[in-house]
Structures are given as structure tokens and as C-alpha cells.
């Protein structure tokens, strides 16, 4: 493994079968997320192999760091264990995990099977900073009123973020932190479902 230099703190180049198969350099992903996945991947792979005996559905999902691990595990299964490819990946408040090369490959592999949910002003999806790390596609954004959007144009997004911040100015924690809490994602889902019926 080769750690990134001063230009990209926390960046790690990962030797994945994907790189070898496609004749390209290994994609870079966040060192901490890579280490976290490395610590559980052998057991995860073995469990999926053992339990997926008759093509049962397998879905990876996670919140925050768990979302990063779900996305990376899905990618790793696709590139290294294609027979074990998960049926989908759903993440909630996922941080940026990788560079554009891996994100692009993931987007191709998981087209219409990966969704990245972000709740209004959740701070975690804005970390770590660009340009070293990026997100996979398929954003689903909950606005301040709990409506679900496939995209949020810049002007409308800024207005919505301001609305979210102003909704509870005297809360003990900032909107950016509060919006990351999993119960608030569940509330946003419930509001969205109620509005769609």
C-alpha cells in the first residue's frame, strides 16, 4: 500500500483486481475507510459466500462511516468477487470515500442499484473535502420539509439549506450535526412517504 503524500492527506492507493483487469493504476480511497473495510472484509466475504446459497438477495446499507463501508464493500465485491455482487447499495449520510476513478467504476457497476441519501444540511456528506475525494452518483436529497429530490439545483439548494438552519436556531446542536442523526433520516423518509400518498 502506498499512502498519498502531502497533496492528499489520508489518501491511500489500493491494489484492487479492478486496476489489474483494466490496466490502470489502482484507485485511491480514504485511508481510514480502507482500513475499516480491511478489518471486516474477510468475514463479510465469507458470510456472504456461506449464506448466499441460492441467489438470495444481498443489500449493503449503512449510515455515516457505515455508508462509506457499504459503498466500498459493494465495489470490492463487484471487482473481486463478481458472483457475490450485492443487489444494491443504499447509504445515508455517507462521507466522500474515493477518487473519481473508483466512483466512476462504481457508478457503472451499480447503475440504478445504488442510492446515496442526504438529509438537508447533514455535514458528513461534505467530508472529507474535495477535490481529493468524491461521491458516487444517485443522490437522493431530503429538503428541509422532508421532500425527497433526485437533485437539488444550486440556488434552490442554498435556499433550502438556509431554511433548514433557520428552522431551530436555539437547538443545542447545529443543524449540520442534527441532520446527520439516523432518527432524523427516518423522520425525513416518513415525511416523504406521507407527502407522496
Q: For 56-78, how does the pLDDT look when each residue is reduced to its tens digit (9 = 90+)?
A: 888 999 999 999 999 999 988 88
Does residue 117 have a pLDDT over 90? Answer: yes
pTM of the full predicted structure? 0.79
Radius of gyration in angstroms for the set of CA atoms belonging to the chain, rounded to a whole number: 18
59-63, 168-172, 178-182: least confidently modelled range: 168-172
pLDDT in tens, 13-45: 444 454 555 454 555 778 888 889 999 999 999
Highest-pLDDT range among 121-125, 131-135, 151-155: 121-125
Domain spanning 2-196 has what CATH number?
Answer: 3.40.50.1820
CB 71 within 8 Å of CB 136: yes
CA dist., res. 97 & res. 90, Å (int): 14
* Residue 70, burial from CB neighbour count under 10 angstroms (0-12, 13-18, 19+): buried
Q: Name the residue ranges covered by the structural domains of the chain.
A: 2-196
pLDDT score recorded for residue 66: 95
Question: pLDDT tens digit string along 75-105?
Answer: 888 888 888 888 999 999 999 998 888 898 8
pLDDT category at 171 given cuts 50, 70, 90 is low
Query: What is the C-alpha to C-alpha distance for residues 79 and 73, in angstroms, rounded to an integer?
Result: 10
- 110 vs 19: CA distance, rounded Å: 18
Amino acid at each position: 500500500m502506498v499512502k498519498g503524500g502531502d497533496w492528499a492527506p489520508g489518501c491511500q492507493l489500493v491494489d484492487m483486481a479492478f486496476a489489474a483487469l483494466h490496466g490502470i493504476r489502482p484507485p485511491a480511497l480514504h485511508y481510514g475507510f480502507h482500513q475499516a473495510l480491511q478489518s471486516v472484509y474477510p468475514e463479510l466475504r465469507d458470510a456472504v459466500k456461506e449464506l448466499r446459497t441460492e441467489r438470495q438477495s444481498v443489500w449493503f446499507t449503512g449510515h455515516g462511516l457505515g455508508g462509506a463501508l457499504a459503498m466500498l464493500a459493494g465495489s470490492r465485491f463487484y471487482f473481486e468477487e463478481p458472483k457475490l455482487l450485492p443487489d444494491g447499495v443504499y447509504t445515508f449520510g455517507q462521507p466522500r470515500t474515493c477518487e473519481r476513478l473508483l466512483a466512476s467504476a462504481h457508478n457503472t457497476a451499480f447503475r440504478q442499484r445504488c442510492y446515496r441519501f442526504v438529509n438537508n444540511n447533514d455535514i458528513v456528506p461534505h467530508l472529507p473535502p474535495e477535490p481529493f475525494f468524491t461521491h458516487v452518483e444517485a443522490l437522493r436529497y431530503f429538503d428541509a420539509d422532508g421532500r425527497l429530490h433526485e437533485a437539488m439545483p444550486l440556488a434552490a439548494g442554498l435556499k433550502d439549506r438556509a431554511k433548514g438552519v433557520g428552522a431551530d436556531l436555539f437547538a443545542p446542536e447545529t443543524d449540520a450535526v442534527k441532520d446527520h442523526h439516523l432518527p432524523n433520516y427516518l423522520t425525513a423518509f416518513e415525511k416523504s412517504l406521507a407527502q407522496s400518498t
